[in-house]
Amino acid sequence: MTTASQTGKAPEAISRNKLLCIAGMGWTFDAMDVGLLAFLLTALKEDWGLTASQLGWIGSVNSIGMAVGAFVFGIMADRKGRKPVFIFTLLLFSLGCGLTALASSLMVVLVLRFFIGMGLGGELPVASTLVSESVETHERGRIVVLLESFWAVGWLIAALIAYFIIPDYGWRMAMLLSALPAVYALYLRSKLPEPTSSHISQKKTRLSIRQSMALIWSPQYRRSTLMLWILWFCVVFSYYGIFLWLPSVAMLKGFSLIKSFQYVLIMTLAQLPGYFTAAWLIERYGRKFVLVTYLAGTAISAYYFSVADSTTTLLIFGMLLSFFNLGAWGALYAYTPEQYPDGIRTTGAGTATAIGRIGGILGPLMVGYLVQYQFEISSIFLIFSFSIVIGILAVMLLGQETKNKPLNSI
């Protein structure tokens, strides 16, 4: 008689809500780090007297690590499975955050930001793919957008830490706090099963890196790959260029350090309704509709935020910017894994994300240098708005609707 051990044990089932919470906790800690980085730039400028271009390099080195992590761990997840990569990336990220609290120089911060970026860059595409493969087709888009909503929770916690901790206890304590809870998330994540589609695909002949890359550029997937690479570059370029500099932009407009942190905290609250409305719309009107609508809202809000000349307009357009941009991110993470079949899904998602991270390298760096050379903030943000419009055109002209589309295997 054939036993379960002979045939291979089926992956243990896990409830949708438990999966969402476990994956979402890691997402929260990742967002805390990115959010704290925005406040860290402002604090380091005051503490170490760094120039705008040096601050830009901190954000850019983080994105270099994210580009490397997205590419390397995306390929690894197709070859070794989603779960082990999912665990390792969070471990790498949390260790880097904790060690940042001990940093004594800009060079040490840059090295640690690279490794933190690797963990974060590998984490996000693998997490969204794992969740996509583990839920039903009719609710896949909504669940992935809700997963992305944990990003808003992380940003909110980061803003609270920045407002209450950094002014009194310093940025080192803030970085230490961001690393400690990740230990619990690692324990929970170890209990996750490998998703069924990934479990099946690992039993098939594994594709080489060259074969995987050739497949995502094959005639069948070439259009999707080109669309994703353009979209990811434009979205990440604008996001990291804008959001890492939000507290600094508030200070450039004449607000104090404490006030700038307070205003960003208020703006961050608008991220949650952005995610929830996107989650509601994405299964009714489709991925393309949500992406185009929310990206258009982002482009308009970004420009008007940059020319805001009062506290009221700064807060209104800052909140609209958070609402639309983070809703678009949710749709982007739902849309990306749906472009490819099981055997190359995280390779395709990871490489698209890696291309996006190149934009994340250039965005903060560009802002740092342009601010140093006294360019108007409105001119800088107009560049980001134009970038988002290019992303919108890529979705409209090259994108295919994937609502209710089953995830296929090769």
Tell me the per-residue pLDDT of 143-194, one tens digit each, with 9 for 90 and over.
888 888 888 888 888 888 887 888 888 888 888 887 776 666 667 666 666 6
Euclidean distance between CA atoms 345 and 225, whole angstroms: 11
CA dihedral over 129, 131, 134, 137, signed as positive or negative = negative
Q: Is residue 202 part of a domain?
A: no
Q: What is the mean pLDDT of residues 46-66?
A: 82
Q: Is residue 330 part of a domain?
A: yes
Q: Which residue has the tokens 């434009």?
A: 234
DSSP notation for 125-158: HHHHHHHHHHS-GGGHHHHHHHHHHHHHHHHHHH
- How much is the pLDDT for 159? 80
Q: Is residue 374 part of a domain?
A: yes
Q: What is the mean pLDDT of residues 294-303?
A: 95
Which of the listed ranges 46-55, 251-260, 317-326 does the model predict with the highest average pLDDT?
Answer: 317-326
Any residues with CB less than 8 A from the CB of 252 and at least 6 apart, and which? 371, 377
Neighbours of 145 (CB within 10 A): 31
- Pick the range with the lowest mean pLDDT from 64-68, 226-230, 327-331: 64-68
- How much is the pLDDT for 6? 42
Average pLDDT, the chain: 81
Q: Is the pLDDT of residue 370 over 80?
A: yes
Q: Is the pLDDT of residue 61 over 50?
A: yes
Euclidean distance between CA atoms 23 and 192, whole angstroms: 9
pLDDT bin (cut points 50, 70, 90) of residue 195 is low
Euclidean distance between CA atoms 357 and 69, whole angstroms: 10
- How much is the pLDDT for 181? 64
- How much is the pLDDT for 10? 44
Q: Is residue 266 part of a domain?
A: yes
Q: Which bin fits 283, alpha (ψ -120 to 50), beta or left (φ > 0)?
A: alpha
Euclidean distance between CA atoms 261 and 247, whole angstroms: 6
pLDDT bin (cut points 50, 70, 90) of residue 9 is very low
Q: Is the pLDDT of residue 55 over 90?
A: no
- How much is the pLDDT for 189? 65
Q: Is residue 311 part of a domain?
A: yes
Neighbours of 211 (CB within 10 A): 13
Q: Is residue 373 part of a domain?
A: yes
Total domain count for the chain?
1
- How much is the pLDDT for 257? 58
Which of the listed ranges 2-6, 73-77, 400-404 does the model predict with the highest average pLDDT?
Answer: 400-404
Q: Tell me the per-residue pLDDT of 303-357, one tens digit each, with 9 for 90 and over.
A: 998 888 888 888 899 889 989 998 999 899 889 989 988 788 888 888 998 899 8
Q: Is residue 3 part of a domain?
A: no
Q: Tell me the angle at which helices 16-48 and 171-179 cross, rounded to the nearest 10 degrees.
A: 160
- How much is the pLDDT for 40? 81
Any residues with CB less than 8 A from the CB of 146 and at least 6 apart, and which? 20, 24, 275, 279, 330
Q: Which domain holds residue 280?
A: 16-190+214-398
- How much is the pLDDT for 13? 56
Q: Is the pLDDT of residue 271 over 70?
A: yes
Q: Is residue 207 part of a domain?
A: no
Reduced to 3 states, what is the DSSP secondary structure of residue 20?
helix
- Cα separation values, 185 from 22, 81, 182, 192, 265, Å: 7, 19, 5, 11, 24
- How much is the pLDDT for 234? 95
Domain containing 181 — which CATH number?
1.20.1250.20
